[in-house]
Amino acid sequence: MKPNEVRVSDSERLSCSSTKIFIDNGHGQFTAGKRSPDGEFREYHYNREIAKRIVSDLQDRCYDAELLVPELDDILLKERCRRVNAWCLIHGKQNAICVSIHVNAYGNGVEWTEASGWSIYTSKGKTTADALADCIAEAAKKYLPNMKMRADWSDGDIDIEEDFYILRHTMCPAVLSENGFMTNEKECRWLQTREAKQAITDLHVEGIIEYLEQVGSVSCQNR
């Protein structure tokens, strides 16, 4: 830290942004499967690394971001949703968002497969999460110019609608991103580069901030 830099304390952080940002990292260290065919890439570990980066980047910009699952274990989806909803019930569901970070997989788990690309999911129907998904997807196109965008345009927007538990049972806007395929050898190797980790972090941070600005929730730096 440079001498004239101001350190933002945790208590100041909590009061300086009007929206709580929950970043969820899917799976735990003992979750079966959820790894590359060669076993080297472990999804729980990667998700956590990216989630931590997103949280600290947002906190540095004075947003109230928090890891939903600081534990290494696979916390039940029901408990993850309970944590989000407990906060929403006190502070209002319009004052929180939840973004779940994942890496996709395809095939039998023992052989590399060709499926590739980036995607974002919301729960079914027109929901408040659609705008959040749009903002993150726009940033994904910018930060991942060489990656295929997997989309479902049938309802007019890029997000794919799925009844994932974390999306259906959280009260606030919630989205789930699948950041490439750990079962695609080339993509799996790329995901582990410094460049990829930075791009995936940046696209979430930029997309989340864009959404918060659209809904009028700003960090203390912009007030």
Question: Where does this chain bind Zn ion (CB under 5 A)?
Answer: 26, 102
The distance of closest approach from Cβ of residue 151 to Zn ion in the complex, given in angstroms and rounded to an integer, is 19
Strand order in the sheet with 160-161: 64-67, 20-25, 96-104, 174-181, 118-122, 160-161
- The residue (of 62 and 81) whose beta carbon lies closer to Zn ion is 81
Which residue is closest to Zn ion by CB?
102
The distance of closest approach from Cβ of residue 178 to Zn ion in the complex, given in angstroms and rounded to an integer, is 7
Quick one: 183 exposed, middle or buried, by C-beta within 10 A (0-12, 13-18, 19+)? buried
The distance of closest approach from Cβ of residue 143 to Zn ion in the complex, given in angstroms and rounded to an integer, is 20
- The residue (of 28 and 207) whose beta carbon lies closer to Zn ion is 28
Whose tokens are 């395929």? That residue is: 181
The distance of closest approach from Cβ of residue 27 to Zn ion in the complex, given in angstroms and rounded to an integer, is 6
Q: Where are the alpha helices (DSSP H) in 100-193?
A: 129-143, 165-168, 185-191
Residue type, 204: H
- The residue (of 26 and 173) whose beta carbon lies closer to Zn ion is 26
- The residue (of 53 and 102) whose beta carbon lies closer to Zn ion is 102
Do residues 134 and 159 lie in contact, with contact meaning Cβ atoms separated by under 8 Å?
yes
